[in-house]
Amino acid sequence: MLNTYPKSKWRGLAETFIRLIDTDVQLIEKAKEDNARLLKENEQVKKDNRRLLEETAKLIQENEQLKKDIQLLKNLEVQLEKREKMLR
């Protein structure tokens, strides 16, 4: 259009409109790229979160087992003290 009517009174507006369209297209493409990147990052965060939750669950189990072991050792210590008293 600009080449067909180079001296048109609408040339300035047409140029501005074309620049706006180009800018809009660029912004849309950047938004798509950003969205794709953010989706990928979000998936990685979800994977990391699942892994951390699994590790946390394992640590909780290990902690509970350690508490049981400590209690068992305390009970054994009490029994040992009772036996020592009986032997005296």
For range 10-36, the mean pLDDT? 96
Reported pTM? 0.61
From the list 15, 21, 19, the residue with the least C-alpha distance to 1 is 15
pLDDT in tens, 32-86: 999 999 999 999 999 999 999 999 999 999 999 999 999 999 999 999 999 998 8
SS3 track for 27-87? HHHHHHHHHHHHHHHHHHHHHHHHHHHHHHHHHHHHHHHHHHHHHHHHHHHHHHHHHHHHH
For range 14-21, the mean pLDDT? 95
